[in-house]
């Protein structure tokens, strides 16, 4: 044992990216909901969305649908939101 804390696992790369840039609420969440059934369980989908409401809407959708909101990231300086399919 080296005495160093374990390194956290890196988040999974998204299997698909939905480009919802320029779309206003509720279109990014609708796009996610429509595409989600074809995403494999355990996989991550990334939603590119520059509507400020997406930062609230996507985590709320995850809570309502019992899916995992992985977090927000920046892709090319644009906001993106990662969601893992749990079921």
Give how far the C-alpha of residue 6 lies from the chain's centroid of Cα atoms, to the nearest Å.
25
Q: How many whole angstroms separate alpha carbon 67 and alpha carbon 48?
A: 18
Point out the catalytic residue in the list 15, 21, 25, 73: 25
**Residue in the structure block whose two tokens are 């160093």:** 4
25 among known catalytic residues = yes
- Catalytic amino acids? 25
């Amino acid at each position: 044992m080296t005495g160093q804390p374990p390194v956290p696992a890196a988040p999974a790369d998204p299997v698909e990216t939905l480009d919802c840039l320029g779309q206003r609420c509720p279109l990014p969440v609708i796009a996610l909901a429509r595409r989600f059934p074809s995403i494999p369980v355990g996989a991550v989908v990334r939603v590119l969305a520059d509507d400020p409401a997406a930062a609230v809407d996507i985590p709320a959708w995850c809570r309502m649908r019992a899916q995992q909101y992985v977090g927000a990231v920046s892709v090319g300086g644009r906001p993106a939101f990662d969601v893992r399919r749990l079921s």
